[in-house]
Chains A and B, each alone.
Chain A
Amino acid sequence: MMSKINFLRPDKNNLNTFLYLGSFLFFIGVLDVFFNSFFSLNLTGFLPGFLSFLFPLILGFIGLYFIRIEFSGIKQLDLLNKHINTNNFNAVLSLLIIFVIIKSLPPILSWFVIDASFAGDTKDVCTGSGACWTYIKVWMRRFMYGMYPNAEQWRINLSFIALVLMGSVGYFATDRFKKYLTLYYVVIYPLIAFLFIFFFISGGPVFFDFSYGIIAAILSIILGFFIPAKYKFYYFLIVPLALYITLKYFIFFEEYVELGKLDGLNWVETGAWGGLSLTFIISFFCLIFCFPIGMAFALGRRSNFPLIRYISVGFIEFWRGVPLITVLFMSAVMFPMFLPEDFFIDKLVRAIIAISLFEAAYVAEVIRGGLQALPRGQYEAAKSLGMGYWKMHIFVILPQALKLVIPGIANTFLALVKDTPLIFVVGLLEIVGMLNLAKTNPKWLGFAMEGYVFAAIIFWIICYAMSKYSYNLEQKYKTDR
């Protein structure tokens, strides 16, 4: 039975009529934009300019109005109405977004893929209106490794592969070794990473005398048998290094000189490091350093000793109040004035120190938030068990507090990675710096856009992966209280 149709008030009785009519109008509207954007055909060219421009919007709007029928009984239609078509305002917004997507697809596609040039290795192949990915291809090594000599780049690759493999040890550890993982990741892994980067990537001078090192290690292990188990941890933290230093400098009076270099490795000064690998190196070290420093200052800020508290507050508020760029300026021009004249610190090291201190202040505030969020009962329970300050914090407070602030710490680390390009201030060129350098090369002028888009994609992938990983971590360690 057909009931009377009122076009201003779509109802369920004439469901099919409204559905076909609405879908048809909506489809025509979208089709108009589609042809206009993909084939540059103006189907509505016969209409006056303004009306022709608004034609798809009006059609689509009427179409969406017709199909907005509540409880139609068709599941898909109800879903559609609920999600993009709740009222007139939402319908217009939805239409606008659909049209913008259709409109912006062709230029983006043609720039990225269709008109882009991939082949060849000179500028001449880039004649199309699209992107010149040849430029990225030719400069790839520079963007990845900076000015690091081509013949030596395997050292960076090998180090990174080794470090990633060693970093993934945690996944394969059996239960027996699980309890050593924290020690491994907090102490041993950073140490190995440092040695890798210092000796292998830079090919730097060797300060460590292995003969004394072995003697010191054997001696301290033998002596270690006579130490009561209670003090063993502290013993192995301090004695081997102290023994090494005493043996070398106080018993045999060696002079503090470099002992030569690793055979077969050329020395590559840090000024030549660059590109994405430098981004990784800096992020890695700052990440390692800023965490313990930040933790120390977070504890200091909540300390009962007023002097320590004031110093921590001063430190944190100072670094949080100034921009990173001025901190790097300070490390570049002001810091050398504060050191003895013959004392030279490499600019990469200075940059790493500056960024670590800067980010440590942010980490400190995040951790403090976690510490404050813990109920007092936790502190009191730990104290009532007879735990001292350090034991209480290491075994009871910090594990809980850190778990609470995983998202905050992840955000700080993300900010750290995103801040690395700022090291251009001290003259180091990581990937963004290399892009700016390549852009001014007279042979390759005019490809700024490709470079920045390339770097943006890389950074986006890194940061997005990190934020997703932190989300997973948060879910994994979530405990209901």
Chain B
Amino acid sequence: MNFKLKDIVPQLITVTAVVLVFGFFTYNAQINMENRGIDFGYGFLSQESSFDVQFSLIEYDGSHSYFRAYLVGLLNTILVSVIGIIIATILGVIVGVARLSPNYLINKFAAFYVEFFRNIPLLLQIFFWYFAALRALPLPQDAEAIFGVFFLTIKGLYVPAFIWQNFSVFFYSIVAAIIAIVVIRIHAKRVQENQGKQIPVFLISIGLIFILPLLSFLIGGVGISFEVPVLKQLATTSFIYEGGVSLPPELIALTLSLSLYTATFIAECVRAGIQGVGKGQKEAAASIGLTPNQVLKLVIMPQALRIIIPPTTNQYLNLTKNSSLAAAIAYPDLVLVFAGTALMQTGKAIEIVSITMFTYLTLSISISLLMNWYNKKIAIQEK
């Protein structure tokens, strides 16, 4: 017989315990909901939400449904996460490389930055930027223009908006450029493998990505103009800027603190990755006559990336999850809009909290799947 009692009993006990605990919870939840007259169900999602949201990427007002409110919150969360991830990556790579610099001052400066921002709670940093630093900014009427078009005020950052003519042509030109670059890369790789010739792919790519969109301006009839924000008086002491795009201070504080905080961790990952590549690799590459740039591009980076990617993925996940701290400064993200306002209005605690958690789970899993795919692509292919 294959089964052994010794193997079955512990599993049975564990499963029974889990089932009992869940059963106990469900039973209580049912009784509680009956007593309070709440019914379980997701029908409320299509009802009218009747609350407004300060900042939204899609059209939304009180007459839309709860599902629409959920989408608004989700998109705001994704917006913060994406901006945060981009800034944190750039900053983190720079600081991580700077920590390996032979220059004593740069090295210490980077170390100071990492130790400083890493050891202060993120929530405190968000509060600091939002309630202390950004509150010290000038009122709209006193703000000085940066480069004549940006206005950084206590009510947010105002940037010019692009107004496109024939945007689709421009868009297609970029798509065409990307496709051409991919084709050339594949071709260059084949040429190198067959004939050993190297085609300057990087230069050609840069040229393509600039020239094709430029051609679309010259020939395709694409036009661009800017809508610069203009100060407008609402009342005797109340001013706002009109036109352009306005980024609310909540968004600025949140992205700033998220990226400054996460960049410290990414910097450490990058440093560990580059240090993890053996010294011999560099020397071997130099001894077969590669130039310093080639050493970095062909030998160091591919190996370092393998070490850097997995922990950096974790940091991206953390950043996405930490973006939920937005609720503390009233940036309308998923937690504030859905698990906050919508929950207060409908009282559907179980449904809403479970949807919120499920959404974050999905976000986390999709980021880690994406990064796993990339990681697999660059991993050592053992033959």
Contacts and interface: CB of A to CB of B under 8 A. Distances in A.
Interface in A77-91: 82-84, 86, 90
Contacts, number: 156
A323 B360 contact: yes
A98 B108 CA distance: 12
Interface in B313-363: 321-322, 324-325, 327-328, 335, 339, 343, 349-350, 353-354, 356-357, 360-361
A304 B6 CA distance: 12
Contacts of B283: none
A83 B102 contact: yes
Contact of A459 (B124, B325, B354): B124
Interface stretch (B27-35, B202-210, B293-301): B27-35
B7 interface: yes
A97 B107 CA distance: 11
A341 interface: yes
Interface in B109-163: 109, 115-116, 118-125, 127-128, 131-133, 135-136
Contact of B35 (A82, A341, A417, A459): A341
A448 B131 contact: yes
Given A337-B33, A452-B124, A98 B116 contact: no
Interface in B148-200: none
Contacts of B106: 90, 93-94, 97
Interface string A438-466: 01000000001100110110011001100
A166 interface: no
B75 to A, nearest CB: 17
Interface stretch (B10-18, B55-63, B85-93, B227-235): B10-18
Given A94-B106, A305-B11, A448 B365 contact: no
A463 to B, nearest CB: 4
Contact of A467 (B119, B321, B364): B119
B82 to A, nearest CB: 17
B105 interface: yes
A322 interface: yes
A320 B364 CA distance: 9
Contacts of A439: 131
Contact of B105 (A97, A341, A464): A97
Interface in A60-98: 82-84, 86, 90, 93-94, 97-98
Contact of A307 (B14, B24, B25): B14
B104 interface: yes
Contacts of B25: 338-339
Contacts of A321: 360-361, 364-365
A318 interface: yes
Given A322-B321, A325-B327, A418-B122, A307 B131 contact: no
A326 interface: yes
A330 B353 contact: yes
Contact of B128 (A311, A420, A452): A452
Contacts of B109: 97
B103 interface: yes
A180 interface: no
Nearest to A325: B324
Given A308-B14, A456-B128, A329 B115 contact: no
Interface string A403-436: 0000000000010011111101100000010011
Contact of A84 (B104, B118, B349, B360): B104
Contacts of B28: 337-341
Given A90-B103, A338-B25, A436 B361 contact: no
Given A305-B7, A311-B15, A449-B132, A456 B124 contact: yes
Contacts of A329: 335, 339, 353, 356
A394 interface: no
Interface string A376-417: 000000000000000000000000000000000000001001
Contacts of B324: 323, 325-326
Nearest to A100: B109
Contacts of B127: 432, 435-436, 448, 452
B31 A421 contact: no
B124 A341 contact: no
B28 to A, nearest CB: 5
Contacts of A339: 25, 28
Given A94-B103, A418-B121, A333 B15 contact: no
A374 interface: no
Given A97-B105, A448-B132, A456-B124, A422 B325 contact: yes
Contacts of B361: 318, 321-322
Identify which of A82, A418, A463 gathers the most chain B CB atoms within 10 Å of its CB. A418
Nearest to A415: B318
Given A326-B335, A449-B132, A83 B119 contact: no
Nearest to A86: B102
Identify which of A82, A321, A467 gathers the most chain B CB atoms within 10 Å of its CB. A321
A440 to B, nearest CB: 10
A158 interface: no
A421 B35 contact: no
B154 to A, nearest CB: 13
Nearest to A457: B120
A86 B103 CA distance: 8
A273 B345 CA distance: 30
A334 B131 CA distance: 30
A334 to B, nearest CB: 5
Interface in A255-309: 304-308
A222 to B, nearest CB: 33
Nearest to B25: A338
Given A338-B29, A425-B327, A436-B131, 7 more contacts: A322-B360, A323-B360, A329-B335, A338-B24, A340-B28, A439-B131, A453-B128
Interface of B: 7, 10-11, 14-15, 18, 24-26, 28-29, 31-33, 35, 101-106, 109, 115-116, 118-125, 127-128, 131-133, 135-136, 321-322, 324-325, 327-328, 335, 339, 343, 349-350, 353-354, 356-357, 360-361, 364-365
Q: Considering the complex of A and B, which 9 residue pairs feature the smallest CB-CB distances, nearest first? A: A463-B119, A323-B321, A83-B104, A338-B25, A321-B361, A323-B324, A418-B121, A449-B132, A307-B11
24 contacts: A83-B105, A90-B101, A90-B102, A305-B7, A305-B11, A308-B10, A320-B364, A321-B361, A323-B322, A325-B324, A326-B357, A329-B353, A330-B353, A334-B350, A337-B350, A338-B25, A338-B32, A341-B32, A421-B121, A421-B123, A432-B123, A456-B128, A460-B119, A463-B119
